[in-house]
Amino acid sequence: MASPEAQETGETPAKENHVATGAEQTRAPASPLNRSWLVRHFSLLLRRDRQAQKAGQLFSGLLALNVVFLGGAFICSMIFNNVAITLGDVWILLAALKALALLWLLYYTARTTRRPQAVLHRDPHAGPAWVRGSLVLFGSCSICLNVFRVGYSMSHIRCKSQLELVFPAIEIIFIGIQTWVLWKHSKDCVQIQTNFTRCGLMLTLATNLLLWLLAVTNDSMHHEIETELSALMETFSGNNTNTCLCLNVTACEVFQKGYLMLYPFSTEYCLICCGMLFVMWKNVGRRLTPHTGSHPGTPPFYLHGAILGPVLGLLVLVAGTCVFVLFQIQASGPAIARQYFTIYYGFHAAALPTMSLACLAGMAIHGLEERELDTLKNPTRSLDVVLLMGAALGQMGISYFSIVAIVATRPHELLNHLILAYSLLLILQHIAQNLFIIEGLHRRPLWEAAPESLAGKWEAEPPRRGSLLELGQDLRQASLAYIHSYSHLNWKRRALKEISLFLILCNITLWMMPAFGIHPEFENGLEKDFYGYRTWFTIVNFGLPLGVFYRMHSVGVLVEVYLGA
């Protein structure tokens, strides 16, 4: 038996050793040198994976940039020196790019996506229903456009080459397969063959971008139709002409009207495809966490007692439809009377300031709200904001060119004053609506506020075994606190819903008028006489499709703002 002094002296070193061992154990995780080999190897693999992903994005982006520069050089050479580089040469280049893109699209659908572990995740925010619906709508219109082009070429087969029948047929096949692939795979997050998939997506995106650029700058078909119409008038007046005329005048008129009416849809289709392909390119190699991958509980679309906004929006829609029908009936004749231009621009001069005031009121209500800002990284929302700001440049650019033409010529007619007011109000409305939508998109939706606060509590205090009763009490307390916090915001939420519904119907009206009809910007003659036919044709064909896309995109994001309120 050891003495008490010996026991005390024996316990003292043991305590000291125990304290030292505990200190070493607490200091061990803090030192990076003492981490396990598995942790260091795993972090190294993650770092290499991120570097490989950035290298693949850089290489595929450079590939698309070079293809766009090559095609842009061909198109610019055709415009400025159409003897050395003709439209046929540009068509041959685009046919080669379409063939390569078609081969990749078929390979992606048949081989890449069918391999095991190829698509582990699907982005719930990518490819919403309204985007895919617009893709199918504009794709169908683009196919009809090429059918009209083939019919027009067939009616002039005596004086046209066989190649003018081949290229529209290739484009019909390309549009059909691309629309089907994008409809089916727009949400994919591919995990295998990532570099090859990125390059294929960028090649297809560059092809669509070049098709859009050619549609914006190529006015040969419009010149041909106008030349044939003037030659037909000279033939009826008794003058001889050598112009190649159509034998079946009725069929040719149908083909001409159909081509001119559906021409903007081709550029719209190319823009939508570029946006969807870019989202797919960003999602290549992306791994979604279970919380991110699960679709949020978005509530269904109900009016929730909103009356004033839908009523005012329906009034604007009915008035816009009447103005649209009157203008189209008048446009079917030989010339458009000036009073119909006055009605058209007068309607816009009344609707645009009303929309601007509604957007300003919505921004003021956003400032009074107590909803938190959503600062989480969201690639889809970032792309929505970029597309919204970029598409607004189309109509704003046309408006600035119109303002310069009107001020430089100094006209004093009522119609010119209305065009000037329309241009200024359109710029202000775009700015106000963009600010309102962006502010609404960055507000945290109400249905996500309570679950995220509970998720934060669960992360801070993980649930213990046997705590179901406590969990139920926490849920009840959180629900009561949530209702108490937001019960006094009912009138603000209702006002935001009224404003959103009003803006949705107004944007549908302003989308319908330029999308399905003759464009007054090109028919009033003021800017065309000031800038020249070809310059104003390029400006209008660049800006109007962006304007139509802006209205359509605004409807989609305004629905999200409405649901988030």
Distance from C-alpha of 415 to C-alpha of 527, rounded to nearest angstrom: 13
Number of domains in the chain: 2
- Segment 245-272 shows an average pLDDT of 79
For the stretch 16-30, pLDDT in tens is: 444 444 444 444 444
Q: How many CA atoms lie within 13 A of 421 on its CB side?
A: 17
Kindly calculate the radius of gyration of the chain based on its CA atoms and give it in whole angstroms.
Answer: 31
Eight-class DSSP state of 335 = S
- Same domain, yes or no: 311 and 387: yes
- Same domain, yes or no: 217 and 320: no
Number of helices and strands (H, E) in the chain?
Answer: 19, 2
Least confident of 326-340, 367-381, 481-495: 481-495
Does residue 50 carry a pLDDT above 60?
Answer: yes
Does any domain span residue 482?
A: no
Better-predicted residue by pLDDT, 539 or 226: 539
Does any domain span residue 297?
A: no
Distance from C-alpha of 275 to C-alpha of 130, rounded to nearest angstrom: 13
For the stretch 142-176, pLDDT in tens is: 999 889 888 887 877 777 777 778 888 999 999 99
The predicted pLDDT at position 222 comes to 57
Domain with 117 in it: 47-234+245-283
Distance from C-alpha of 67 to C-alpha of 61, rounded to nearest angstrom: 10
Does any domain span residue 472?
A: no
φ, ψ of residue 119 in degrees (nearest 5): -120, 90
The predicted pLDDT at position 448 comes to 52
Share of the chain above pLDDT 70, in %: 70
- Same domain, yes or no: 147 and 113: yes
The Cα-based distances of 161 to 88, 158, 260, 488 in angstroms read 10, 8, 22, 72
Contact of 229 with 255, CB cutoff 8 Å: no
pTM (2 d.p.): 0.72
CA–chain centroid gap for 244, Å, is: 41
Distance from C-alpha of 266 to C-alpha of 58, rounded to nearest angstrom: 29
- Same domain, yes or no: 272 and 316: no
Does residue 355 carry a pLDDT above 90?
Answer: yes
- Same domain, yes or no: 555 and 427: yes
Share of the chain above pLDDT 90, in %: 21
Contact of 216 with 538, CB cutoff 8 Å: yes
Does any domain span residue 296?
A: no
- Same domain, yes or no: 346 and 389: yes
Specify which of 18-27, 117-126, 360-369, 532-541 reaches the highest per-range mean pLDDT.
360-369
Pairing of strands 119-122, 188-190: antiparallel
- Same domain, yes or no: 390 and 254: no
Helical H segments across 237-305, by residue range: 249-283, 290-293
Does any domain span residue 476?
A: no
Does any domain span residue 22?
A: no
The predicted pLDDT at position 545 comes to 79
- Same domain, yes or no: 385 and 270: no
- Same domain, yes or no: 193 and 121: yes
- Same domain, yes or no: 249 and 317: no
Mapped onto helix, strand or coil, the DSSP state of residue 266 is helix
- Same domain, yes or no: 325 and 214: no
- Same domain, yes or no: 401 and 523: yes
E strands in 335-391:
none
Does any domain span residue 479?
A: no
Distance from C-alpha of 265 to C-alpha of 141, rounded to nearest angstrom: 6
Better-predicted residue by pLDDT, 217 or 408: 408
Distance from C-alpha of 457 to C-alpha of 477, rounded to nearest angstrom: 13
Least confident of 35-39, 262-266, 381-385: 35-39
Does any domain span residue 401?
A: yes
